[in-house]
Amino acid sequence: MVECLMSRKVDRYYLVALQILLIVFPDSDHKAVLETLPAMMRNALEETIQRIWIQGPKKVYLDYPAEGSKDERIECWKQRAELYHGIEIGIESLDVGIFAVCQKGPDGLPPDLHEKVESSEHCSIFTDHFAVNMRRAACVFETTQLPGREMEFLVFVLNEMMQREAETSKEL
């Protein structure tokens, strides 16, 4: 996660954070989990957390499932579209200063999604569709205050993980 944070891979950082949240707080109410998140992360992950916690599947796609099923690919598209939509909401609501070169990418899923995931070129179609969003997301951590808040949250989650592991070890 720290590497993602430092290399400005904001999208991957948030997906790893979501994966950790699913491990650390599996039985918690999704609203309680959202309240613990830093503002930008909460905006970025809110739609996905609500959908995954309520509907499932509780799987996070860090990478596009090139060899996966059509359903897995569609789920990955949904997660990525929700993530980038949430990042845009965060940029607007938190007045995050984004450089002019960081143009806004497509919002939502393409109407021909099923055709795209069935195409022989589905991997490059996925990458091309979200390329602008990925570059814009990278601009988010160029503001000085956001990475610090994200690091504070990372420390909190790691402490929670260690505490739960210690409790589990005592029970055994």
Q: Is the peptide bond before 57 cis (omega within 30 degrees of 0)?
A: yes
Q: Is the dihedral of CA 159, 28, 145, 44 positive or negative?
A: positive
Q: What is the pLDDT of residues 54-110, one digit of tens each?
A: 887 789 999 999 999 999 999 999 999 999 999 989 888 877 776 555 778 888 899
Residue 136 predicted with pLDDT over 90: no
Specify the higher pLDDT residue, 38 or 125: 125
- Please report, for residues 5, 56, 62, 85, 90, the alpha-carbon distance to residue 117 in angstroms, rounded to integers and kept in the order given: 30, 20, 17, 20, 28
pTM over 0.95: no
Q: Is the dihedral of CA 69, 53, 8, 110 positive or negative?
A: positive
pLDDT at 98: 66
Q: How far apart are CA 28 and CA 31, in angstroms?
A: 8
CA nearest neighbour of 37 among 52, 20, 53, 54? 20
Q: What is the pLDDT of residues 8-38, one digit of tens each?
A: 788 898 999 899 888 888 888 888 888 888 8
| 14-37 burial code (b ≥16 CB/10 A, e <16) | bbbbbbbbbebbeeeebeebbeeb
pLDDT at 84: 94
Q: How far apart are CA 154 and CA 17, in angstroms?
A: 8
pLDDT at 100: 55
